[in-house]
Amino acid sequence: MNDLWGAFEQAIRLIVSRDPEVMNIAWRSLWIAAASTAICVAICLPLGSLIHFNKFRGKHLLLSLLQTLFSMPTVVVGLFVYVMVSNSGPLGMMGLVFTPAAMVIGQTLLIIPMMLGLVISSFSGVDKAVMETATSLGANRLQAYTINIKEAKFPIMTAVAMGFGRAISEVGASMIIGGNIKGYTMTLTTGISQYVSMGLIEQAFALGIILLLMALLINIAIYLLQKRRQYVWFPS
């Protein structure tokens, strides 16, 4: 028990002293997850608008597929991306394997289904009269979609926060695609696994504390956004 408490105290010291190795791993995890989330936003907002506001054959099947992919195993995504970017894969000439860029691709593919489904669900909460009014006033489809995005901004922001949380906390895809290379592709989750296997419990604790703090901040943000959404749409 004393050894465990000592390891925890040492982990706190590493964080407070801003240990370069720990901070570099945390920063790398942050920007990779942020880049993946930004790409997903750029894809899911227009695509979600097209899916929600248009009727087409197979729409219900597509929505069911998206819900199924919410819980897609990260190792499956990692395996797929690895096969694509490995030296013998179709994208092998790009030299992406075991790079942060490949990890961004993997995390993007991982969170797209969840974020797309949540964005589509966000539009469901907007009054249909908004679209009809915008169209009747002369707005084109792009302008009408933009108006609906503004109306659904709080649930969409919640979807973005959840996507970021899933990206920064995943381990399987990052381990397979990135290779967990120290100083290059090691992230918070893969670093914890590596340090535990090496018996460096203090460093593992430090990374774990940072990851927990990030998860706490994300959950607080989601809670505040949901409260704000309830206040705006359903005032008491």
Would residue 5 count as lying in a domain?
no
Would residue 143 count as lying in a domain?
yes
Name the domain count of the chain: 1
Q: How far apart are CA 109 and CA 172, in angstroms?
A: 13
pLDDT tens column, 70-98: 888 899 999 999 999 998 889 889 989 99
Would residue 227 count as lying in a domain?
yes
- Of 225, 235, 209, the residue nearest 9 (C-alpha): 209
Joined together, the tokens standing for residue 14 give: 């590493």
CATH of the domain at 184: 1.10.3720.10
Read off the pLDDT band of 142 (50, 70, 90): confident
Do 166 and 111 touch, CB atoms closer than 8 A?
Answer: yes
- The predicted model scores a pTM of 0.87
Would residue 4 count as lying in a domain?
no
Would residue 119 count as lying in a domain?
yes
Percent of the chain exceeding pLDDT 70 equals 93
Q: For position 233, what pLDDT does the model report?
A: 46
Do 79 and 146 touch, CB atoms closer than 8 A?
Answer: no
Would residue 3 count as lying in a domain?
no
Q: For position 2, what pLDDT does the model report?
A: 55
Neighbouring C-beta atoms of residue 127, cutoff 10 Å: 11
Alpha helices in 87-200 (DSSP H): 100-124, 128-136, 141-151, 153-169, 172-178, 188-198
Half-sphere exposure of 193 (CA within 13 A, CB side): 15
Q: Which residue segment(s) compose the domain that 52 sits in?
A: 20-233
Q: How far apart are CA 144 and CA 135, in angstroms?
A: 7
pLDDT tens column, 101-115: 999 999 999 999 999
Would residue 9 count as lying in a domain?
no
Q: For position 1, what pLDDT does the model report?
A: 54
Would residue 7 count as lying in a domain?
no
